[in-house]
Amino acid sequence: MTNQIKAKSSLNAKPSALLLLSAIVLTACGGYRGNPVVEPLNPNSPELGNSNSVSLSDYHPSKIIGINPMIPMRADGANTDATLRPTLDAYGLVTMGDSGSCSGTHIGNGYVLTAGHCFLENTYSTSVSNQACPTVKVYWGYRGSPSTGSPKPVVTQTSQCTKIIYAELSSEVDFAIFQVEQAPKASVGIAMESDRTPAKTKITIFGYPMGRPLEWSQYCAVTKSSVVGRPFSNASRVAYQCDTQPGNSGSSVIAVNTAGVPKVIAVHAAAAPDPIKYNIGTYMYDIRQVLKKKGVNLDQLTAATTLQSN
């Protein structure tokens, strides 16, 4: 019988002295601390997200870089680019029982990409695989509120996590792949580059900062990791200045390819220690490599042709 694991959020643990002193360890963004804002989730409520009642004393510093350009999504998605609009139902608020929440993306065939520390509570050099996850639910497409001109927020679908395929939090990578039942039809494909994404690639991020309805970072660019110091010396880390807040952990870093198709190039995981003004993620290239060593072919898992019923 598969062992069960209780999902953790990084917000339940303050950074240890070891994490703060290590030159290669980054400040994890974490998720929403305490009970998720959508607990209980009621799409008919006039306002689902309300972070004002939550203490922020244990939060890691958010990385709003300059003027915050994060845009709350309207229920119809009309205030984002047309090329991105079809992906909105693929982004989910991942609630971790009573431990908090993160952001996740349906990458196909019922598989969800998020940050490893959402499950591993900022314990470095740890991993789990093939574990049950009964406390984890995903609320897909949660967006809209009176503040965006939508009378009621929408949740297009709810899924239950059935299994953590693999999650790792280390100085190398921070990611998790888990499976859900009743996955949404919408998904975002993963980039197929044979190497890491070039610097200056235009990217964007959707997620659930502070457990609020879906927000869009607008655009920024991949930055050369070598220019921002030792925290980014690991090649698996991608640096960028798209804004995030606690709760964005696990958000996909999206690039639109030359054919106008959005693709996941990385998963957002952390903020650089101050005063460095960058957020960071783990490249899909490196996620593939880690999974390959574990005998997991991510492309086969997420391929639509593998979704069959008897």
State which of 39-48, 221-230, 248-257 shows the largest mean pLDDT: 248-257
Question: What does the pLDDT look like over 16-75, one tens digit per residue?
Answer: 222 221 222 333 455 444 333 333 333 333 223 333 222 222 223 345 565 567 899 999
Question: What does the pLDDT look like over 259-302, one tens digit per residue?
Answer: 889 999 999 998 877 777 788 899 999 999 999 999 999 999 99
* pTM, to two decimals: 0.80
Question: What does the pLDDT look like over 293-307, one tens digit per residue?
Answer: 999 999 999 986 443
Domain boundaries, the chain: 22-40+59-303
Of the chain, the percentage scoring pLDDT greater than 70 comes to 71
Count CB-CB contacts under 10 A for residue 38. 25
Give the mean model confidence (pLDDT) for residues 214-221.
93
State which of 64-68, 143-147, 221-225, 253-257 shows the largest mean pLDDT: 253-257
Question: What does the pLDDT look like over 90-148, one tens digit per residue?
Answer: 999 999 877 789 999 999 999 999 999 999 876 677 899 999 999 999 999 999 977 77
pLDDT band, residue 232 (cuts 50/70/90):
low
Cβ-proximal residues to 202 (8 Å cutoff; 6+ apart), any chain: 219, 220, 221, 255, 256
Looking at the domain 22-40+59-303, which fold is it? Thrombin, subunit H (2.40.10)
Query: Please, what is the Cα angle at 234 between 26 and 229, to 5 degrees?
Result: 65
